[in-house]
Structure 1
Amino acid sequence: MNSKISLPKTSAKNKMEVMPILPLILNMSIPPLCSMFLQYTYNFVDCIFVSWISEDALTAVSLSFPITTLMLAMSIGIGVGINVLISKNLGGKNFDEANSVVTHGLLISSVLGIVLNLIILLMIKPYFKAIIQDYSIYSLAIRYMTICAFLQAPNMIHIAIQKIIQGTGNMIAPMLFQMAGVLLNFVLDPILIFGFGPFPKMGIEGAAVSTVLGYTLSMILAFYVLIFTNQKVRIKLKDFKINLEIFKNIVILGLPSFIMNALGAFMVTFANMFLIVYSTTAVAFFGAYFKAQQVVVMTVNGLIQGCIPIMSFNYGAKNKDRLLDTFKKGTIIAVFLMTLGALLLAVFPRQVLKIFMASDSMMELGVPALRIMVCSYIFNGISTMFASLMQSVGQIKYSIYINLSRQLVILIPFMWIFTRFWGITGVWVAFPITEIITLLFCWHIYKKQERWI
């Protein structure tokens, strides 16, 4: 009886094949755009409140950021792989296969979440010993990350469900359970850090506990939405069999998104290695800047997360015109958002840094540095959108090449070369130069697009 009720819903036309492209992009992108914005406010909010403790505490959280970024990158990578596979199957009218992907996606997310939690607990001490000389900062970083490690399992599961639901075209529900977790974190951060009423003063551990509880709430609400509300896909239990090919496809299709986000962690680690030579203030500034930058960049990634299911769906449906129209209009929106973000940071750098209780020395260093780095934002938006197009049409290697170029292969050597000529300013200059070169590479690939689409 259950299958009879759901049958008309699967036969109805999906909005991704009939709705006009621009309204569709806005409809699909605004909720995940808000979700991605909220996702990255976890660490942003932590940094704001932690900066009130001390600059050492802010430095400790900044040095922890590569680890938390890797954790989030794995979650987003698996989630996007699930999303692309579900969208493609729905576009091809393979509804039972889409339900099978849901179950496989939840399995791989749960297992990886637990395994990664254990790995992080084992690696944090040697990692921080290798990069931190100051014992007080080292102690703060260990105390923070020992608790934050436990966010990985709820993080992976709730993002997997978020991407499952987004893959069907429902973008509102994921935004709501994401918002609930962020709001809980925002409320608990000052209460647990500084102590209030019956709650003890926990310091930097309070920031970590509030973050873990925020992700846990999002996971609980995500399960409720998937299981107890009417969705176009469901967990498949009857006649379910493990299919290793589905696991493989989830990992492969999500690999570009994982690399794009994980490379941010490696980039921050390498940048910190250059900056620590000059001062811990430079490291604290870069950590603060990177949080502000992520709010801009990850908001655009929210736009991309809305465009990927549309492009994947229409690629599966063999509708080339809608696929390319989505890419072109999405790119225009991405450029607009990145330009707006760049202007805000360039015009109000002091106000942004004051959020993190910047000292006079951090302000003197940070204002010109911030204005140089934001010059890269416009180029970043175009190349990131193009990498997403390649991901949607199965050209995974080109998507990976683009992300590797932007954040590692070109950027790090340029940092090394430019610091030899301009000192610490060379670190900042490397960012816009790298994005310009990457954009030229994207244009070269784009001219060959007819072979793949």
Structure 2
Amino acid sequence: MEGNLTQGPILKTLTKLALPIMASSFLGTLYNITDMAWIGQLGSKAVAGVGVGGMYIWLSQGLASMARMGGQVQVAQCIGRGDREAARGYAQTAVQLATVLGLAFSAICVIFLHPLVDFFKLTDPEALDAAFSYTRVACGLLVFSFLTLTLTGLYTAQGDSKTPFVANLIGLVTNMILDPVLILGPGPFPKLGAMGAAIATVTAQFIVMGIMILGVVLRQNGNVLKGIRLFAKPQVEYVNGICKIGIPTALQGMAYCAISMVLTRMVSAFGSAAVAVQRVGGQIESVSWNTADGFGAALNAFIGQNYGAGKMDRVRKGYRASLWTVGVWGVLITLTFVLLPEPIAKIFFYEPEAIAIAVGYLIIIGFCEGFMCEELMTVGALSGLGRTRLCSVISITFTSARIPLAILLGGRMGLTGIWWAFSSTSIAKGIVFVLTFFYITRETRNSTV
């Protein structure tokens, strides 16, 4: 049966599902890099301002993961058990929650725009103007992003990763066309700067969402999203089921972002160029973490269905195959960052000061890329088992350690010490997550069917 991940060769099944998701994640990386590359032509101050808005978008993705992860895991496990009626109920509730949460987050960003931007203590007028312009538009219409992420998770839970890939590809092309036109304003077009980048991104997200909704409408049967009612009264059991899985994931994502905001405020003491490097550096890193997160999403659906069907042997074999695949990718990224930092930095920065800071960042952060890839992939695996609370505890504990570590190392080594606080904690998390998965699945060995 199409979308059935409980049968067939494990590596082939997992790879077939994972490749479109990884490609979609890579497209997400190109979204961000495209924005930063064009905004970079406006200078590091504009990049710093957009980076502030990007922090709140990142925070929103943590909240959006409640509906996405809760819906994806529950739908996958229901399909594995053969209960498609419950799978449809969870899918409908996930879409409803995504809509409500997206609208609520957008409203908060618009109403409290000035205090949210002022938190980062930007002093340069150009950076502040870019921050206000970008945040107002990009965060004010985040409901499209919330629905896109949730629909992607629900498609993936059913073993369909091709539709989200096609949708994201079309969205990327749209974004790449609109970015230079709206940011730089060639010819008769107005130069909108940071606001242009926000408009391009929101337009692309709307198109991606529309294509995935169209995919549900055109499909005759089989998709659990078919026939859902957005305005129907949510059933308590489905809300509770999604919240049980999704809330720990949301807390983990939002805590991670909140901690990064505190660290960004520390980085801002070193100037706009340092803030810009942290922002752009995160986008460059997304080449590794978006890909690993995409593979983790595939593994999440694979493990969710097989765990629901009681096939723990396939769970363990699927994880081992993923461990090696993602590990190799992480090592390649490490070598690229450590050996070629200056050519990468010069793609996004033109001022000598910013380039020098970016080179130091890439070298230090490069050492943790393989470990970070394993961490993100394992989070997807453990979440497929329903262990989102455990993931949250591990992640928040080690990520929180960045703040005192950054204070300690930053006081002795300056900006370099803050970069090492990022890198060392990522290395620790990667090791702990992998060991935890092997321990958890060793405990459940007797449940193999």
Paired with 1:73 and 1:362, the residues of 2 have a C-alpha distance of 29
2:119 is the alignment partner of 1:138? no
- The match for 1:166 is 156
2:215 is the alignment partner of 1:225? yes
Within the candidate set 378, 390, 393, 1:386 is matched to 378
Letter in 2 for 1:106: V
Matches within 5 A, 1:94-243: 94-131=83-120, 132-230=122-220, 231-236=222-227, 242-243=234-235
Q: Label 1:153 to 1:359 Cα distance change in 2 as closer, same or farther (>3 A).
A: same
Residues 294-327 of structure 1: per-residue CA shift (max 9 Å, x gap): 2221111001111100001011000010011111
Q: Give the TM-score normalised by the residue count of structure 1.
A: 0.91
Paired with 2:329 and 2:256, the residues of 1 have a C-alpha distance of 20
Residues 148-179 of structure 1: per-residue CA shift (max 9 Å, x gap): 12331111112222221111111101111111
Within the candidate set 264, 276, 295, 1:303 is matched to 295
Paired with 1:357 and 1:27, the residues of 2 have a C-alpha distance of 37
Shift of 1:452: 4.5
Q: Label 1:33 to 1:181 Cα distance change in 2 as closer, same or farther (>3 A).
A: same
Quick check: 1:151–1:216 contact (8 Å CA) kept in 2? no
Letter in 2 for 1:250: I
- The match for 1:5 is none
- The match for 1:38 is 27
- The match for 1:292 is 284
- The match for 1:316 is 308
Paired with 1:189 and 1:432, the residues of 2 have a C-alpha distance of 32
2:49 is the alignment partner of 1:60? yes
Q: Secondary structure at the match of 1:27?
A: helix
Quick check: 2:292–2:374 contact (8 Å CA) kept in 1? no
Paired with 1:339 and 1:254, the residues of 2 have a C-alpha distance of 31
Quick check: 1:102–1:236 contact (8 Å CA) kept in 2? no
Quick check: 1:193–1:202 contact (8 Å CA) kept in 2? yes
Q: Label 1:288 to 1:274 Cα distance change in 2 as closer, same or farther (>3 A).
A: same
Shift of 1:439: 4.0
Paired with 2:188 and 2:423, the residues of 1 have a C-alpha distance of 49
Aligned length: 440
Letter in 2 for 1:139: D
Paired with 1:403 and 1:83, the residues of 2 have a C-alpha distance of 20
Paired with 1:377 and 1:399, the residues of 2 have a C-alpha distance of 19
Q: Secondary structure at the match of 1:17?
A: coil
Paired with 1:88 and 1:387, the residues of 2 have a C-alpha distance of 17
2:80 is the alignment partner of 1:91? yes
Residues 247-290 of structure 1: per-residue CA shift (max 9 Å, x gap): 22223323454345434422431222222222221111111111
Q: Secondary structure at the match of 2:181?
A: helix
Q: Secondary structure at the match of 2:226?
A: coil
Within the candidate set 333, 346, 357, 1:341 is matched to 333
- The match for 1:265 is 257
Paired with 1:348 and 1:259, the residues of 2 have a C-alpha distance of 35
2:273 is the alignment partner of 1:281? yes
2:322 is the alignment partner of 1:330? yes
Shift of 1:133: 2.4
Q: Secondary structure at the match of 2:73?
A: helix
Paired with 1:86 and 1:348, the residues of 2 have a C-alpha distance of 43
Structure 2 residue ranges without an equivalent (≥5): none
Structure 1 residue ranges without an equivalent (≥5): 1-11
Q: Label 1:130 to 1:70 Cα distance change in 2 as closer, same or farther (>3 A).
A: closer
- The match for 1:399 is 391
Shift of 1:69: 0.7
Paired with 1:206 and 1:431, the residues of 2 have a C-alpha distance of 31
Paired with 2:170 and 2:256, the residues of 1 have a C-alpha distance of 26
Identity rate of aligned residues, in percent?
Answer: 20
Paired with 1:59 and 1:156, the residues of 2 have a C-alpha distance of 24
Q: Secondary structure at the match of 1:247?
A: helix
Residues 376-418 of structure 1: per-residue CA shift (max 9 Å, x gap): 1122222333333321112222111222134x22222211111
Letter in 2 for 1:118: A
Paired with 2:349 and 2:228, the residues of 1 have a C-alpha distance of 52
Quick check: 1:57–1:140 contact (8 Å CA) kept in 2? yes
